[in-house]
Chain A
Amino acid sequence: MTRKMFVAVALVALVGTRAFAEIDLSGSWQSINHEDALERGAGPNPDDWAGLPFNESGRAKALSFSQSIISMPERTCWFQTQWHIAAGPFSLRMWAVPDPITGKVQAWMVGAWETRAPMTIWMDGRPHPSKNAPHDQTGFTTGVWNGNELIATTTHLKTGYMRRNGAASSDQATITTHFRRHGDLLTLTLIMEDPVYLTEPYILTRSYNLATNPVAIGGPPCIVGDEGVESGRVPHYLPGKNPFVDEMMKRYGIPSDAAMGGAETMYPEYRDKIKAAFKRPEKCTINCG
C-alpha cells in the first residue's frame, strides 16, 4: 500500500468513527443556578448537611469545622477541588485539545471558574497514575465516550469539601462526571464516592445554557494571604462544642437530626421520621431569595 493510500484510508476511517462516537461540547456554558441557589451562591447555612450521605467520620469532621480555618495561609485554598464545579456557582468553558499529528481529540478542557485551574480530561487512553502518586486539588482525570455522553473520572485529589460549610471529602475520593448535551442545554451529573467520609455515592446535577458571551478562561486564582491568624492556631470546634447544630431549626424549623445528614435523609421515607418534629416558620426571614 502506498503512503498516500494509507493516509486516505486512515482519514476516512477516522472521520467515520468520530461521526458517531461523540458530540461537540465546546463553547461557553452559562451556569443555571436555580437549584441549590444558596449553596452555590452565598454559601450554605452553617451545619446544614441534610441530604448528604455522611458516615460518622464525615459528620465528626464537619462538626469540627470552623469557617475561620480558611484564614490560615496553608488552608486558604483548601476546599477547591474539581467538586467546585458542583458546589460553586460558576459558568464553564469547554474546549478540545487536538493531537497535532492525528487531529484526534487528546483532551477536553473544562475551565474558567473562579479560583480553580482548568480540568484536563485526558481522552487518549492513558492510565491513571499509581495510587501513591502525588495528589493535588486538580486531581487526574480521564474520559471516555458512551455515545453522546462524555464520562470523566477524577482521582488523585487532595482533601477538599463537598459543601462549603465543612463537609469534607478525603484524598481517597473519586468523582465521576457525566456530560450530556441537548441542543443549547448541558447537564452535568457529578457522583462522588469517598470510602472515608461517605456511606453511599453523593450525587449532584448542574445545568448550563450555551452562551454567546465567552466565559473567561482562567479566572482569578485562589491566592494565599495572611489574614492575621496567629501561627500555630487551627480554628476548630471540639466535639460537642459546635455552636451551630441547631441553626437549621432556628432558621427553618428543620430538626437538627435531619441537618446532621446521613444517607437516610436522601430518601422519601425520611419525611415520615421528621414530620412531627418539623416546625414550619410563619414567614421566611433569612436567605429567602
Chain B
Amino acid sequence: MHARSRVLTVSLGVVLALLGSPRPSAAQPTRTAVIAAEPAQLRAWDATVDRQVRAGELDVSRRDTDTLVDGRTHTRLRQLHRGIPVLGAELTRQTDDVGATVSLFGSTYADITLDVTPALDPAAAAAVVERLSGEALGPERMPTLCIFPGDDGYHLAYRATVFTAEGATQYIIDAKDGAILRQAEGLRAQSAVGVGTGVLGDSKKMSVTQDSGTYTTRDPLRPPLLTTYDMRENLTRTLDFLNGRVSLGVSDRASDTDNVWTDAAAVDAHAQTGYFYDYYFTRFGRRGLDDNNLRLLNIVHPVPRAAVFAQTASTVSTFYINAFYAGFGVMVYGEGLPANATAGGRRWNYLSGALDVVAHELTHGITDYTSNLLYELESGALNESFSDMMGTAVEFFYQPPGAGPLNADYLIAEDVVTPGGIRSMENPAAYGQPDHYSKRAILANDRDHDNGGVHVNSGIPNHVYYLAIEGGTNRTSGLSVQGVGQANREQIEKVMYRAFTQLMPSNASFAVARAVTIQAATDLYGAGSAATRAVTQAWTAVGVN
C-alpha cells in the first residue's frame, strides 16, 4: 500500500469503532472476527483465507520476516472490495518455515455489494475538507478512496487527515455526495494538561551535519534520514508543513555555530529520536518505523512558549502540552509552558525532554506501519498502551531504574510533566485510569471523549505490562501475578513487540490482545515458559479473559 494511503488508513481507523459498537441496525455491516491458533481452527480458516486471496478479496499489504523466531513469517492481509480497501478489515497470518499457518487473527466484513464508482473526485473531497477545516490539502495529502463500514451500512468514501492550529482531524467523506460520515481526533497524542519548568541538564551526544561552518540537526550516521527542524515559533509555517503546502529545507534545521548545542528542545528531540531507533534495532532488529528506514523528522518550537496565554485551549493542548506523531515519520514536540504557568496543577517542560514521551510517540509510527490499531475504543487504548509499553522499555534500556529525573520507572512523562507525569503503569488508578476491565471507561467515540477513552482505558493493558515484568497483585481483583522479573524484562518487551507488530489485527479488542500476547509469548518462549505464564496471569488479573 502506498505510504500515504497507509497513514490515512491509520488515521481514519477510528471509524471502525462503530463496527464494534452494539447498535443493531438492519443494514449494519456483518463483521466476522477471526481468532485462530488451534489446529482445528486454523485448518478451517486457512482454506477460507486462501480462497479469498485467490478471489482478490484479500490482498497482501505487508509481509515481514520474523526477527525473533527463526523461520516465521508474518503476512498482513487487507480486505478489498473491487480493489478498494475496507477500513479496519485485516487479518494477520503467521506461518512457519514450511509455510504452515501458526496463527490467524483479525476480522473481515461480509456482504459488501457497493458500486465503487465515486461521484466526487479527490479534489472535490479535498474541497470539502478545506471547507470544514479552513486548511487546504497539498498534493501529498489528497483524500483516498475506501470502503467505510458505518452504522447504516457500507459507504464508498474518501478519507483524509488535516492539521490545523487546533490539532489534527480525520475525515471520512461520502464519495457519492460529500457528506461527512466521520470526523475524529487525528493525533496519536501524549495528551495531558500541566505546566513545565526548565531543562533537565543532562548531556547528550548529537549526531549532526556540518555545512559551511554551521552545524545542523541532520543525523548522517544512522540509517534513516533523521532531521530535526526548528520552526522558530512559527505556527503558520508549522501548519503549512504538516498539511503538505511547504517543504522544509536546510535553513529550517536547528543549527549551531560551535557544535555545543544549547537549544534543549532540539537536543532532546534529535538525540532521543536516535535512541529510539537504536533501541528497536538492537532489541528487535527493526529498522525504523516501517522497518525500511523511513525518515524521522522532528519538529520543535512550533509555537512561542511565552505566547501561550494568547492561544486557544485547543492550540495549547496540541502544540504546547502535547507531542504527537503526525504520520510520514513526522513528530511534533510541544513547547511546554512558561515557568509561571501550570496546567492540571503540573509544570510542563519541552515535551522532547522525556525519553519515554519521544519513544511513545514514535511507537505510534511503528503501530501505523504494523498493526495499524484503530485509534478508538479498545483498539485505540491498545494503540496507546503499546506506545506506553515501548516508551517505558526504551527508558529502562537507557536509564538506571529509580525515581526522579533521568531514572527509569513506570511513570509516563514524569521527566517533563512534574510532579509525577501523566500516567502510571504500576498504579493506573492513581492517574484516573482503570486497572481492571470492570472499571473500564465507556465513553462516546468522538474527539470530545478521547475517541472512546483511548488514553483512559490504556491503563488496563499498561498494568498487564507492569505485572508481567514486576509481578504483584492487581488492586481491584486481588489476583497475584508472578512476573518474569526485572532481569528478564527483555522477554516481555519482545512478547509485546511481537504481539503488537506481527500478530495484532487493527481492530483488536482487549480479549484479542490477550490471545495475541499469549500466542507471542508461546512462540518465543514456549507454552510453559515464565513469560507465557506471566502474560496469562496478568491479563487474568486485570479481568480480561
A-B interaction: no
Chain B residues within CB distance 8 Å of chain A: none
